[in-house]
């Protein structure tokens, strides 16, 4: 009987994490945090707190994570929802203002204009890139748990954060997940960006087009230098699904979604394919930039 009880408890802890993955303190209930906010005269979006709780991130760590975002994330009081009639019908309207960011890699600019020194010499097939966090600190730790320790509950929080940026910047344009390398997907048994796209679609109504797939025999780009990444990236991806059959022709905007933006080589190769399939402009939305 005890064995069964313990097994049920372990399964419950995997499904609904009780301790924060970052600081190990018990994840307080959303109600308790909301009551504390009310006493302090502040407000927190209950839906985002709930997403963090489901992902195993306590409310204090969520606050710290949000403070590390590259742009201030304006959190709506209720979960964003893309209305079915809007999906993909009109072009995305990127918002102006906020921190000036490089159009290629999304890093904050200091004294440069539009492009950072590194990206100025490159040519990208996408119109602009937006990353939520730099690849360090809490964002890097969380992404490490998600990708390398297969801690899937974090997808709930990542999708919520991506959706806030998506709605603010790219409106109803369809997203296209960057497919995982075949070998890593076979090894892990899942596609981390594909899972995020699934959450964005199911929880927030974000339109998703599976327009890309990895080429047979593709390899990892991790160990390659900048020049090699750019020259080889295009051979790693192919058009798939409706994009192959002309279903993307005339689409004003598509938003490539990835977990890490590095040199922009992958995003540029994918954007080039999408443009060859008839998409007019490609934007990039990534969780982190390294
Ligand atoms: Zn914590
Ligand atoms: Zn740049």
Q: Which ligand is nearest to the CA of 28?
A: 1
- Residue 71: the pLDDT is 83
Pairing of strands 237-239, 212-214: antiparallel
Structurally, at CATH architecture level, domain 85-289 sits in: 3-Layer(aba) Sandwich (3.40)
Whose atoms come closest to the Cα of 60: which ligand?
1
Residue 226: what pLDDT?
A: 67
CA of 13 to the centre of ligand 2 (A): 41
The two tokens of residue 77 are: 């009081």
**Alpha carbon of 10 to ligand 2 centroid (Å):** 44
The pLDDT of residue 2 is above 70: no
Place of tokens 């997808």: 155
Q: Which residues contact 127 (CB under 8 A, 6 or more apart)?
A: 103, 281, 282, 283
Alpha carbon distance 224, 237 (integer Å): 17
pLDDT at 260: 94
The answer to whether the CB of 70 falls within 8 A of the CB of 99 is yes
Q: Is pLDDT of 94 > 60?
A: no
pLDDT digits (tens, 9 = 90+) for 139-158: 999 999 999 999 999 999 99
pLDDT in tens, 187-211: 888 999 999 999 999 999 999 999 9
Among 38-47, 90-99, 209-218, 267-276, which range has the highest average pLDDT?
A: 267-276
Residue 50: what pLDDT?
92
Q: Which residues pair with 69 in a beta bridge?
A: none
How are beta strands 281-289 and 253-261 bridged, if at all? parallel
| pLDDT exceeds 70 at position 160 | yes
Average pLDDT over the chain, rounded to an integer: 84
Q: What is the pLDDT of residue 95?
A: 42
What residues have CB less than 8 Å from 1, skipping those under 6 apart? none
Ligand nearest to the CA of 131: 2
pLDDT above 80: residue 90: no
Between the CA of 103 and the centroid of ligand 2 the distance, in Å, is 6
- Which pLDDT does position 222 carry in this prediction? 65
Residue 96 in this model has a pLDDT that exceeds 50: no
- Asked whether the whole model's pTM tops 0.95, one would answer no
H or E stretch including 55? helix 46-55
Q: Go through 133-156 and write b for each residue having 16 or more CB atoms within 10 A of its CB, e for each that does not.
A: bbbeebbeebbebbbeeebebbbb
Strand partners, 212: 239
Beta-carbon contacts of 189 under 8 Å, excluding residues fewer than 6 positions away, are: 150
Rounded average pLDDT over 106-113 = 81
Neighbours of 5 (CB within 10 A): 9
Round to whole Å and give the CA distance between 147 and 196: 12
As a whole number, mean pLDDT of residues 225-251 equals 82
The pLDDT tens digits for 14-38 are: 556 688 999 988 887 777 878 887 7
Beta bridge partners of 134: 289
For residue range 272-287, what is the model confidence (pLDDT) as tens digits? 999 999 999 999 999 9
Q: Is residue 134's pLDDT more than 90? A: yes
CA–centroid distance, residue 138 to ligand 1 (Å): 10
pLDDT at position 199: 97
Can you give the residue ranges of every domain in the chain? 2-67, 85-289
Residues with CB under 5 A from ligand 1 (ion): 20, 22-23, 58, 61
């Amino acid at each position: 009987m005890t064995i069964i009880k313990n097994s049920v408890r372990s399964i419950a802890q995997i499904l609904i994490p009780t301790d924060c993955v970052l600081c190990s303190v018990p994840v307080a209930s959303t109600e308790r945090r909301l009551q504390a906010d009310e006493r302090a005269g502040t407000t927190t979006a209950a839906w985002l707190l709930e997403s963090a709780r489901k992902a195993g991130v306590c409310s204090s760590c969520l606050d710290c994570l949000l403070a590390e975002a590259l742009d201030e994330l304006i959190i709506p009081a209720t979960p964003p929802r893309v209305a079915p009639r809007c999906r993909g019908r009109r072009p995305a309207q990127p918002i102006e203002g906020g921190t000036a960011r490089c159009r290629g890699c999304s890093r904050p600019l200091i004294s440069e204009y539009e492009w950072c020194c590194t990206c100025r010499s490159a040519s990208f097939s996408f119109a602009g890139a937006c990353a939520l966090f730099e690849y360090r600190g809490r964002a890097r730790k969380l992404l490490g748990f998600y990708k390398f320790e297969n801690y899937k509950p974090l997808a709930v929080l990542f999708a919520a954060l991506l959706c806030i940026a998506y709605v603010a910047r790219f409106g109803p344009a369809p997203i296209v997940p960057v497919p995982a390398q075949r070998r890593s997907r076979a090894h892990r048994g899942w596609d981390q960006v594909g899972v995020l796209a699934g959450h964005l679609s199911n929880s927030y109504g974000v339109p998703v087009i599976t327009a890309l797939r990895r080429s047979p025999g593709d390899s990892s780009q991790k160990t390659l230098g900048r020049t090699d990444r750019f020259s080889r990236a295009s051979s790693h991806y192919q058009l798939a699904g409706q994009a192959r059959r002309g279903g993307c022709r005339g689409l004003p905007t598509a938003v490539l979604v990835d977990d890490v933006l590095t040199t922009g080589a992958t995003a540029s190769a994918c954007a080039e394919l999408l443009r060859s399939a008839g998409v007019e402009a490609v934007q990039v939305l990534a969780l982190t930039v390294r």
